[in-house]
Structure 1
């Protein structure tokens, strides 16, 4: 694996078109990447709010979700979370798919990839020679080759470097971004909003996956009563809504079972 600073420098000038926070766009990306969600009765859906009655509007249980937030409002707070005592250590040896972000404006794509590759149903639905399956196999391969106490960190960096050069995923992302309901910003434009994913680890805990974070996955503790979205709602209300108050502008999409 190349030096991470060299990898970051190499890809710093690369920007992808950002994905729109729109369930249809995320579904199109999944299909173009080679993971047709309908085959396993999954769909991306809008989350209209984090109160129980609004979460009940989802078509079925969520296996993951993506959250879009304003970096200007939340980044300073997020830097203090690890020291707050609210974040638990990542379970040693957990089988969690996580990569770093080196490419500008690729956070939506990475959040979608994190959501799908941590959902066993999606992994089972991947078409073998499609971009997502090929990237998954390559990232797993480089992760298995890493050694040492920091092998998880090195695996995440190697996976991020692979995504930066994954032409098939890039094409799927660009085509999906161009087909959104709002006009895509210019390539290379500075975007003040950022996507993260929330998934359930195989240890039963809720993990926030953000490819920008230097400290890697964030463990928010057990998924309560097997309901991922209720656990996400608790985190969002505490770590986002309570922090921003009237300035809180969020958008959330859940990857749900559809029946």
Structure 2
């Protein structure tokens, strides 16, 4: 039985309603998935103003950066990387080259195969890695999805998410919340949701479900969280230098919650 709000594209691919970029919606979704209430998402209003940075509890375990296409494309061009989803659409025989799984991976990466789930995949990347992973409750939906998917190669791991009706229902509960009305599943989004997190190897990793695997952005000091200058310089700030006055981006931090 199809979950209300799930749509099948003309090509037969599953599509969800896009998730609103809203820290309260993000927080509610990860809690429903099985992340401890000790973690929450917070808007990052500035990377330079101490008073605004102080509004975000520390430590920050992951960042989600929502970027418009020009910024995204400029950094991908600098790095000599392609947006794998575009290549996949252009070439019917295009193959994913990343094939790590389990203990071979410094981070857990999910290939996006459900339409309009850029936000969901970014959330999964942010909580399934680094220190945040310790806050996933035993036996929860998220715990079960990760344990089932981790030993598998990327396409089989993606199928674990694709075939989960329980994930559909939990996601749709959050997708219908927020300050704006939920868009239709067939409406285009036009932004990229990137997750930045620290891997088991102590490196900063950039994760996006439409790329050819996770991207290693280099080593971080042991005590550096994701809102440290070291992490920002290797990650988000590389995109922001291509903003050219475009303010249509946002940054959301996953942090250990302070006193509410």
TM-score range, shorter chain: 0.7 to 0.9
Alpha-carbon deviations, 1:73-132, whole Å to 9, x = none? 234324324339xxxxx9x9443110111111101111111111114444443240x321
| Structure 2: distance between partners of 1:111 and 1:21 | 11
Give the structure-2-normalised TM-score. Answer: 0.78
Total equivalences in the alignment: 227
More helix as a share of residues:
1
Q: Does 1:42 align with 2:53?
A: no
Paired residue for 1:101?
Answer: 112
Kindly indicate whether the alpha-carbon contact (under 8 Å) linking 1:25 and 1:176 is maintained by their aligned counterparts in 2: yes
Aligned residue runs from structure 1 range 15-164, under 5 A: 15-35=15-35, 37-38=36-37, 41-51=38-48, 53=50, 54-71=52-69, 73-83=70-80, 93-128=104-139, 130-141=140-151, 143=152, 155-164=153-162
Alpha-carbon deviations, 1:50-90, whole Å to 9, x = none? 1151323212210111111112x234324324339xxxxx9
Unaligned runs of 5+ in 2: 1-8, 82-99
Unaligned runs of 5+ in 1: 1-8, 85-89, 144-154
Paired residue for 1:6?
Answer: none
| Structure 1: distance between partners of 2:107 and 2:68 | 26
**Alignment RMSD, CA only?**
2.5
| Structure 2: distance between partners of 1:131 and 1:45 | 23
Give the structure-1-normalised TM-score. Answer: 0.79
| Structure 2: distance between partners of 1:248 and 1:199 | 23
Paired residue for 1:252?
Answer: 251
Distance change in 2, residues 1:34/1:234 (3 Å)? same
